[in-house]
Structure 1
């Protein structure tokens, strides 16, 4: 998607080529182009032709994340007299302006302007899998309007296209035959509306063109950027990465239809939906910058917390959801994403974020409001999440369509032994035990200080201490000098060396005398690529520098590891990780991707792109923000902001002002 023109807003995104066109899919090579809304493609074809030819692109770029401008000319001539301008706004639906100008000719010219359209209403998951839809599509033409309708077993989606100027309208195209005098311009507007089960999503962009709308969020883009802390930095890389991270997070905000809260979607294109783990980690990363993101994320996920067992959706009482989808397969019950609960880490991460949010915001009211949800989450950790009652959280899907791996590395082959064998479930990955440890301690604080339940607080602290002792005994592999990736279904140590162990630093579950050993192994040549910590050691049989979770480098993963190193006092190593990620960001135009390849920096000299990585992606966008927190050493302790900076000399002076801390503005320099 690097050369595509992408415009997004809320639950909608529009991906076209640089000319602004969407060409019908090649069945042998389906693409993620078109207009998508709530996991469904509402336009699969949208292309402009002048005299039967595509326009020659002169300039094409986004104006901001929800609008774009394209300047082109008539193809086929050396000095074309006809120019064309397209302006597009995505605002729930789409508003597009087309302007054709006879600006270079001294003569009257005739030009045929044709706009071709079509919709396949493919479920985004079906597009990803290369599958076709099973329902029926019909087209209704009425005056200057055309409605493309899809139906299947009571499920219905439609796209309504309204043309301002009359022309020759068919079921596939609108055509205008223009006669333009010298210097004469012709302009028209088109509105594209999304219809779900007979109800049209309200268009927020009417006739009038660019600049008439703002994102459908509680905070405008201008306010979002203006309310963020002010960064002062000598490093241009740091300044640009900071600005781009804030912009990316603004772009990824969306409102799931029935929740009413804005929270970050996981990433474009495949994951423009609610993902519990991703939203929780992203909100954590953004806390010193935009704490409101955590508040809305916590509320949205609390609303969707499971209250019953459902094998198809891997649901259990108290469990926080993994993924919510609105496409055909989910709405018809063919897929389990309504929502799906197959992540074993979202629930402890919910408790971690709830505590960290209160530390930064002083929002005890929300903590009291969500106390029932927090207690149910805790009950899940102590109950269904621990399948065999051994004190560890183990996962195993019960759904025929469930995820085999339910840790953050959720690809099917992400939990391997050092010799390359696949571990059998139920699986207890190491980092999830760390999250559970941290969640107990954080919930104990909330229980003692806000809920007034000292007995619960005391018990949770005892349980956390017991878990820490047990974990450091059962997961340590003396012969290899590192912690196990996991325990498999037979309680064997899964002995591959992976970046999961770095999350143990972040959670604080490690014994102090072993923390240095973990840091040393993560910074050794087999784990350290030069751009970051790899997800798997090059010495293990499963390693592949472009395998999704077995050798690549993930920015969010490295950000959490760096923050964990800071927690244990390894400031130089933490700064090295942050600096490497900033170096990588320069090669990605400061828009860090979800993941990139694990090739050694000394071999490639530039980071190697992963072929299907999401950009923008929420927790990759949040990684530079957490990196700033790590470099400045900022925390909220005893109700005040503490600052213990450790900034590499090559980054120069660095500081943040107007940092929101418990309702007041502070500075960190």
Structure 2
């Protein structure tokens, strides 16, 4: 439920109650005597509940602040809301409380854009006794219904509004409870019905609460680092998805709220990697869910090819009716290699050879896709060019229409092979060689994969390196084989993957930390010296926390610790302006521009890989890796962080306590 600070969703805004990629409520407005209420305070209580404290404004026959209003809301399988009024005036008062509700049943793809008008197809079946509003919609095989049930019943109905006429005396209180059940196709969802004493007290049976209770405990000389860590863990809990794959219950992270509460291959995989030190269950769930939908054949509409791992799954009306290709959609050139990277990382942290053997056919199919279908140029690079009329033009993480461009701002021709995808592919082959040689006992395959990785590294550093402007990596090659010569943050991902020769790492680090790339809050997606730079352009000048977490990890990998810690410190400072939460992205304005990070207009907040970024930052600070069945830390902690203790890190079937101060680190089994 996406509402304003009063708890309202005015008609015509992008807010509302969204479930399974359908907006079930697009209006939810509470008024008293036909006037909006004054906000005293509001906020989330936990990932699934919120409270709003309100009062009346100055009204005829009712001075301000005579009626206190509290709204308590719980979202889960629909919505449950309690509204409470208490009157503090001296004389009895007549009140008219009105809740205006409405729906457009918009598909998620239509919410931020003008979509199809369904108003003539929405059937109203409101209860005449005032106990419920009901809206239903059908289009062919697609069906959706929402009810707004109230106890006590409204005094009267006005169009799509519930109206209660009340007479209160001094100190008198009144309340009502609203339940909003949903009906999606053959599935019915009934909101949680329990007292708010249970709703707002953490329930021991709540799986999100159990997961939060299980995460390692962080102690640090930096209160800010601890606050960001705790906020990230809480946000990640709010984005948990539960599924059953091949008979096994699994959990994984959705991409983000409010627009991406679904599985995104790239986002979910990177989040699984970032958060592996909190536990391996999310990475395991991600691997299994994506493997269960690995492509088996060709399909142009969904950009499907055998062995490919999907990019995005949706379930709204447009997808169900075949108008959008998202059930699932495979338009991601990098997702398949990232799946292999996370399979390896899961094994390194768990030693789970059984899962490797179970998913080895999927891994081999993914490698075949890379070699047989991914190389659209015929030059040995994984690239993309959509075949779908509804497909994405850019199929890397910079997937906005202008996300990949030349330094002069022109848009390249397809197919495009972006630099970081080659880095992921290199890393994937190195890691798969390790698995082939280890648990799969196939030394011949391991030898072949290492040879392929070495050849890729050699030609990549020949074809993607741009000697001008001090030396850097082009963001990609276009369909004509030309270097797409914009300077981007993607080259930081190359450090993370290990494809950069050591002698060039210093040059890449210098570019990333230059005034043109580093805003003071983080590394920008595009250099200010490039023609297409826009500090509020989605991928052409903004600062993304997940991007910076990968860059910092890559810098540390090559010994560029000072640069890595500069990024981490800036990100920690930025979080202080948003309640210790890092959003999907913020604007790329220089730090001197406003003395605080400028928000990006429509950023998801929270978003999974942004919430995962502080956890990868922490891992980078500790120099934490899983190597040959043991945890190894090589910290280089800046003095302001003081000593760090991370207690109860799960790995290899047990828990570990990590201690770090300066360059000294120690790993012990948990007591």
Q: Is the aligned partner of 1:312 residue 2:291?
A: no
Q: CA distance change for structure 1 residues 114 and 421 in 2, over 3 Å: closer, same or farther?
A: closer
CA distance in 1, matches of 2:20, 2:291: 21
Q: CA deviation at 1:221?
A: 3.4
CA distance in 1, matches of 2:579, 2:161: 37
Q: CA distance change for structure 1 residues 587 and 81 in 2, over 3 Å: closer, same or farther?
A: closer
Deviations 1:16-72 (A, max 9, x none): 2222122211xxxxx221111111110111122222222233222221121111222
Q: CA distance change for structure 1 residues 49 and 598 in 2, over 3 Å: closer, same or farther?
A: closer
Q: Is the aligned partner of 1:298 residue 2:287?
A: yes
Q: CA distance change for structure 1 residues 331 and 176 in 2, over 3 Å: closer, same or farther?
A: same
Greater mean deviation of Cα atoms: 375-384 or 525-534: 525-534
- Contact 1:214–1:220 (Cα < 8 Å) also in 2: no
- Contact 2:545–2:584 (Cα < 8 Å) also in 1: yes
Q: Is the aligned partner of 1:199 residue 2:187?
A: yes
Q: Is the aligned partner of 1:595 residue 2:585?
A: yes
- Contact 1:128–1:270 (Cα < 8 Å) also in 2: no
Find the partner of 1:61 among 36, 40, 43: 43
- Residue in 2 that maps onto 1:226: 213
Q: Is the aligned partner of 1:42 residue 2:29?
A: no
Q: Is the aligned partner of 1:354 residue 2:336?
A: no
Look up the SS of the partner of 1:650 in the other structure.
helix
Look up the SS of the partner of 2:134 in the other structure.
strand
- Contact 2:256–2:607 (Cα < 8 Å) also in 1: yes
Aligned residue runs from structure 1 range 465-614, under 5 A: 465-480=454-469, 481-614=471-604
- Residue in 1 that maps onto 2:239: 252
Deviations 1:393-435 (A, max 9, x none): 0111111111111111111112222222221111111110010
Find the partner of 2:407 among 411, 418, 426: 418
- Contact 2:647–2:656 (Cα < 8 Å) also in 1: yes
CA distance in 2, matches of 1:390, 1:218: 54
CA distance in 1, matches of 2:497, 2:280: 20
Q: TM-score, normalised by structure 1?
A: 0.93
- Residue in 1 that maps onto 2:662: none
Find the partner of 1:122 among 70, 87, 106: 106
Aligned residue runs from structure 1 range 246-285, under 5 A: 246-255=233-242, 261-285=250-274
CA distance in 2, matches of 1:596, 1:254: 26
Q: Is the aligned partner of 1:179 residue 2:150?
A: no
- Contact 2:377–2:415 (Cα < 8 Å) also in 1: no
- Contact 2:279–2:651 (Cα < 8 Å) also in 1: no
CA distance in 2, matches of 1:569, 1:193: 55
CA distance in 1, matches of 2:407, 2:84: 61
Find the partner of 2:9 among 22, 40, 43: 22
Q: CA distance change for structure 1 residues 298 and 202 in 2, over 3 Å: closer, same or farther?
A: farther
- Residue in 1 that maps onto 2:366: 377
CA distance in 2, matches of 1:353, 1:258: 18
Greater mean deviation of Cα atoms: 505-514 or 584-593: 584-593
- Contact 1:575–1:646 (Cα < 8 Å) also in 2: no
Q: CA deviation at 1:210?
A: 4.6
Look up the SS of the partner of 2:126 in the other structure.
strand
Q: CA distance change for structure 1 residues 59 and 233 in 2, over 3 Å: closer, same or farther?
A: same
- Contact 1:416–1:423 (Cα < 8 Å) also in 2: yes
Look up the SS of the partner of 1:370 in the other structure.
helix
CA distance in 1, matches of 2:205, 2:393: 37
- Contact 2:74–2:199 (Cα < 8 Å) also in 1: no
Unaligned residue ranges in structure 1 (runs of 5+): 1-13, 26-30
Q: CA distance change for structure 1 residues 606 and 187 in 2, over 3 Å: closer, same or farther?
A: closer
Greater mean deviation of Cα atoms: 277-286 or 655-664: 655-664
Q: CA deviation at 1:218?
A: 9.1
Q: CA distance change for structure 1 residues 215 and 333 in 2, over 3 Å: closer, same or farther?
A: farther
Q: CA deviation at 1:257?
A: 9.3
CA distance in 1, matches of 2:589, 2:76: 40
Find the partner of 2:433 among 444, 453, 457: 444
Q: TM-score, normalised by structure 2?
A: 0.93
Look up the SS of the partner of 2:224 in the other structure.
helix
Q: CA deviation at 1:222?
A: 2.9
Look up the SS of the partner of 1:313 in the other structure.
coil
